[in-house]
Amino acid sequence: MTYKVGYIIGSLSSDSINRTLMQALMQVAPDDLEFSEIRIDNLPLYNRDLDSDYPPEATALKESIADSQAVLFVTPEYNRSIPGALANAIDWASRPYGKNSFDHVPAGVIGASPGGIGTAVGQQTLRGILSYCNARQMTAPEAYIQFDPDAYGENGEVKDPELQKILTDFMQEFRDHVARVLTVLPRD
């Protein structure tokens, strides 16, 4: 039995530290988690006029979420909030009215920034949005990662033992959270 986890990187940057963090998370994750990326970089801006005729990229986004048994958000903080690209993706996924892709979906939130705040404020904003979208969020542990480039290897392997433990515990708890939610709210 494996759990299909779709992950969303909140950054469109080619050298995103949050993408590096995601690589690290995949390296330390329990074996029964299977990961695939949910793209958000190709989406047009959400427009309610298109609710009756979704563009293919937005339909693909909703299908990717539907194909996932859980969604993990790995995102920067922008201006003490979430990046516009991520907000745009969530808007598409949450609509049309009555077809909210996040309804009952097990979800987790984590992020990295160069500064000590470690995306804490952005994560709280995202939690509020996901709460409104009725996602079943893991509330603990929280993980606010201050990014140190020296702590990661070429492919995201974690070189710092303390960070390795934090990320390993986070992914183990996320796995257990997903398993618990899917027990009562199964997704095929």
Ligand X SMILES: Cc1cc2nc3c(=O)[nH]c(=O)nc-3n(C[C@H](O)[C@H](O)[C@H](O)COP(=O)(O)O)c2cc1C
Our CB check for ligand X shows the closer of 6 and 106 to be 6
Nearest approach, Cβ of residue 95 and ligand X (Å):
25
CB of 150 to ligand X, least distance (A): 15
Q: Which two tokens stand for residue 1?
A: 């039995």
- Smaller CB separation from ligand X, 40 or 77: 77
Smallest gap from Cβ 149 to ligand X, in A, equals: 10
Classify 146 as helix, strand or coil: strand
Cβ-based neighbours of 63, under 8 Å, separated by 6 or more: none
Instruction: Answer whether 100's CB lies under 8 Å from 94's CB.
Output: yes
41 versus 51: smaller Cβ distance to ligand X? 41
Nearer residue to ligand X within complex by CB, 72 or 182: 72
What residue ranges bind ligand X (CB under 6 A)? 11, 13, 16-18, 76-80, 113-115, 117
Q: Token pair for residue 111?
A: 């992020």
The identity of residue 25, as a single letter, is: L
Give dist(CA 134, CA 23) in Å, integer. 27
**Cβ of residue 116: shortest distance to ligand X, in angstroms?**
8
Q: How many helices (H) and strands (E) does the chain have?
A: 5, 6
